[in-house]
Structure 1
Amino acid sequence: MLSEGWYRRRGKRLADVIGAALGLLLLWPLLLGTALAVRLALGRPVLFRQRRAGLGGEPFTLLKFRSMRDGLGDDAARLTPFGRRLRASALDELPQLLNVLRGEMSLVGPRPLPEAYTARYTARQRRRLEVRPGLAGVAQAAGRNGLPWAERLELDARYAEAVTLRTDGRAVAGTFAILLSGRGVHAPGHATMPAFGPAEAEVAEKSRGN
């Protein structure tokens, strides 16, 4: 049974609403400038929308600034130099402040992953769905996309077991630090992050058992 302290039950959501509202209020010039840059570099649409698994596995529409060209091809072929810089800065994630304000995400939590991944999780990995997905998180702070799936999902499960104000504060500080360092933008040998498939799920489970 997960601990249900005041912060987890009420304080975290209160912090999300206040933080997201202040973020949108203070960062609107940056949001507007980034939207204009995306429009000039990649055209329309400016926003990328994709269904992701949220709290309890319930789907929601994730918002991001678009960083890839339209068309066929893998991520490496469609990711432009502009898009790489946008992803490295994490400015493409700023529209998710709206997801936070709407209650679909939190400021801190596991990164929201595609719905298709949910069926591939082990019972342990599914614990990440017991909390709202977040903008910042312990896995992001530990290495962002540079982490292998096994480590990333285990950190998410551990976070879901013990949500505290201190943990969230450290996750935010660590996420900012890794963004400033420029590390973890993509997995080694990939333009972004390799898909989480059955093979990766098996490796993740074996890794936890060792």
Structure 2
Amino acid sequence: MSRASRTTDVVQRAVDVAVAATGLVVFSPVMAGVAVAVAARLGRPVLFRQLRPGLHGHPFTLVKFRTMRDVDEGRGLISDSDRLTGLGRVLRTFSLDELPTLWNVLRGEMSLVGPRPLLMRYLDLYTPEQARRHLVRPGVTGLAQVSGRNALSWEDRLAIDVWYVDHRSLALNARIIVRTALTLLRREGISAPGESTMPEFTGTAQPGKGPDVV
């Protein structure tokens, strides 16, 4: 790791702590309102918890608001599209379901900006190059999210993550945060074509395009 990258990571961690702590206070009324809505529509638990790979692939418990009903084969609630509720779609559109992840940022498990934390079962499917996305903390938002979000192919998404790892800087992080706000306002890339969220990652078929997204 270069000296510039180490400096970026140290300063970014300080920014993460300050912004996450402030955000948890400022958005506490919004979070309370979302919690009440989720409890009324989906019941308890209000929060969704799942192990995700963090820095160097070490697992941590990601915390978000629930947006889906539980799996219920008897009622046909099996796929994500079946389980995703109207409330859930609204929360995902404006990323309100992500607000509890500020706790993950404050705890040092995530950063404000970085590759999104995916699923533990994907770890064995990455190529060595794709696995480099875990050389930094996962982010609440990231370069892939502002370059197409879930509308990107898996190959392109992972290639962009690795490009971010190699080119991260405070200036790039600031641009990503600004572009995140614009992406949310435009409601772009919320789901992959023909999917309610993102299709399952089953391994890489071909290299992604990578860096022509900044």
Q: Judging changes above 3 Å, is the alpha-carbon distance between structure 1 residues 206 and 82 closer, same or farther for their aligned structure 2 residues?
A: closer
Q: Name the residue aligned to 2:48.
A: 48
Aligned equivalents of 2:208, 2:47: Cα separation in 1: 38
SS of 1:178 mapped into structure 2? helix
2:60, 2:109 within 8 Å by CA — same for their partners in 1? yes
Q: Name the residue aligned to 2:75.
A: none
Q: Judging changes above 3 Å, is the alpha-carbon distance between structure 1 residues 206 and 186 closer, same or farther for their aligned structure 2 residues?
A: closer
Q: Name the residue aligned to 1:74.
A: 79
Aligned equivalents of 1:180, 1:46: Cα separation in 2: 25
TM-score by length of 2: 0.92
Please state how far the C-alpha of 1:81 moved relative to its aligned partner: 1.2
Which of 113, 118, 126 is matched with 1:121 structurally? 126
Residue 3 of structure 2 aligns to which amino acid in structure 1? E
**How many aligned residue pairs are there?**
204
Residue 202 of structure 1 aligns to which amino acid in structure 2? A
SS of 1:197 mapped into structure 2? coil
SS of 2:140 mapped into structure 1? strand
Q: Name the residue aligned to 2:97.
A: 92
Q: Name the residue aligned to 1:58.
A: 58
Q: Structure 2: give runs of 5+ residues left out of the alignment.
A: 73-77
SS of 2:146 mapped into structure 1? helix
Q: Name the residue aligned to 2:25.
A: 25
Residue 2 of structure 2 aligns to which amino acid in structure 1? S
Residue 100 of structure 2 aligns to which amino acid in structure 1? P
Aligned equivalents of 2:84, 2:202: Cα separation in 1: 22
Aligned equivalents of 1:49, 1:3: Cα separation in 2: 34
2:111, 2:140 within 8 Å by CA — same for their partners in 1? yes
The CA RMSD measured in Å over matched residues stands at 1.3
Matched, 1:202 2:201: no
Matched, 1:158 2:163: yes
SS of 1:174 mapped into structure 2? helix
1:3, 1:162 within 8 Å by CA — same for their partners in 2? no
Q: Name the residue aligned to 1:146.
A: 151
TM-score by length of 1: 0.93
Residue 133 of structure 2 aligns to which amino acid in structure 1? R
Q: Which moved more, 1:146-155 or 1:97-106?
A: 146-155
Greater helix share, structure number: 1
